[in-house]
Amino acid sequence: MAVPNLELRPLGNTGLKLSSVGFGASPFGSVSRPVSESDAVASVREAFRLGINFFDTSPYYGATLSEKMLGKGLKALGVPRNEYIVSTKCGRYREGIDFSAERVTTSLHESLERLQLDYVDIFQCHDIEFGSLDQIVNETIPALRKLKEAGKIRFIGITGLPLDIFTYVLDRVPPGTVDVILSYCHYSINDSTLEDLLPYLKTKGVGIISAAPLAMGLLTELGPPERHPASPELKSACQAAAAYCKEKGKNISKLALQYSLSNKDISSVLVGMNSVKQVEENVAAATELALFGQDWETLAEVEAILKPVKNQTWPSGI
Rounded-to-integer distance, Cα 251 and Cα 298, Å = 10
Is 61 annotated as catalytic? yes
CA distance 47 to 275: 10
Q: Which of 61, 84, 184, 259 is catalytic?
A: 61
Q: How far apart are CA 272 and CA 142, in angstroms?
A: 30
- Classify the C-alpha dihedral 265-285-309-182 as positive or negative: negative
Of 172, 131, 173, 124, the closest CA to residue 148 belongs to 124
d(Cα 182, Cα 197) in Å, to the nearest integer? 12
Give the gyration radius of the chain's Cα atoms.
19
Strands 17-19 and 8-10: antiparallel
3-state secondary structure of 92: strand
- Indicate if the alpha-carbon torsion angle 48, 51, 57, 61 is positive or negative: negative
Residue positions annotated with a catalytic role = 61
